[in-house]
Amino acid sequence: MPGNHSSAEILVAIYAYAVQIYADFSGYTDMAIGLALMLGVRLPSNFLRPYGASSIVEFWRRWHITLSYWFRDYVYIPLGGGREGRPREYRNIVVTMALAGLWHGANWTFVIWGLFHGIGVATVHGIRRAFRVTNAMPQWVGVVLTFHFVTLGWVFFRAPTLEQARRMLAAAFGGGAWSSVLVFASSNAFVLLLMAAFLLTHRFDDRRRVKAAVRYVRAEVLWPVIALLWIIAITVSQGSSNKFIYFDF
């Protein structure tokens, strides 16, 4: 119910969701990579400090990397990639990102989110080619703008309906609190602190930290622990209900 909150509170919620979704995606990726290494399987890196990207193009080279590569190889390239001229290349980018959004769920909010990112990626490529530059602005400016672009898109990703997304954005940018310079400055100080925390502390995507942690855990220890937890789970479930818990491998 965004109408019950001030603009500043809505902004904090939006920024906080950017933290939540990164911690969710990157967190279970870290666990998957670590567990796989315990079993001798090497999985590719999937997150490389995406909130430190200086453009939306770079962001998608750092965020959910395996998914990006899959859509590149099985959607973007089969559509023609960049082989049939610039207009069709930009079209292929937008279509690919729209399908990437739809991949997350059958909802128009995901489609809008995908289109939002697709248009952003195509625009960055177009600007770079028009001005023949790789970076059209200082890196720190690009990082701040990219983070806010991505965070704005998360509103559509998180909202259950387009109407709810519209209400969130209207409450964030239309409230009286925006007339206060102090509120605007404090909200941006908040996001800058979050960005600094991510860039300086989250290093599991480095893989070296993952390998260092895995070095102390052996597969011969992992399997007895899994078996013990499985037995405990079955015992508890049998004690609380008549249903039998099993795993379908």
Find the catalytic residue in 5, 64, 104, 148.
104
pLDDT digits (tens, 9 = 90+) for 2-32: 778 777 788 888 888 998 999 898 888 889 9
Question: b/e per residue, 68-84, with b = 16+ CB within 10 A?
Answer: beebeeebbeebeeeee
Q: What is the pLDDT of residue 237?
A: 53
Residues 36-67 as b/e (b if ≥16 CB within 10 A, e otherwise) read ebeeeeeeeebbbbbbbbbbbbbbbebbbbee
Residue 228 has pLDDT above 80, yes or no: no
SS3 43: coil
Q: How confident is the model at residue 143 (pLDDT cuts 50, 70, 90)?
A: confident
Q: pLDDT averaged over the chain?
A: 78
| pLDDT tens figures, 43-102 | 888 888 888 888 999 999 999 999 999 999 999 999 988 888 888 999 999 999 999 999
Kindly state the DSSP code that residue 154 receives in the 8-state scheme. Answer: H
Distances (CA, A) of 213 to 33, 216, 230: 11, 6, 24
The reply to whether 5 belongs to the active site is: no
Q: Which residue has the higher pLDDT, 178 or 57?
A: 57
The model's pTM is: 0.72
Tokens of residue 88, six digits: 């069709």
Where are the chain's structural domains? 2-215, 218-249
Can you give the pLDDT at residue 6?
Answer: 79
Contact at 8 Å (CB) between 155 and 169?
A: yes
Residues constituting the chain: 249
Q: Based on the number of CB atoms within 10 Å of its own CB, is 195 exposed (0-12), middle (13-18) or buried (19 or more)? A: middle
pLDDT reading at 234 higher than 60: no
Q: Which stretch of 15-29, 40-54, 108-122, 225-239 has the lowest confidence by average pLDDT?
A: 225-239
Of 178 and 70, the one with more pLDDT = 70
Q: pLDDT at position 110, please?
A: 96
From residue 191, how far is each of 102, 128, 171 by CA, in Å?
28, 27, 18
Read off the tokens for 123.
Answer: 């625009």
pLDDT tops 60 at residue 186:
no
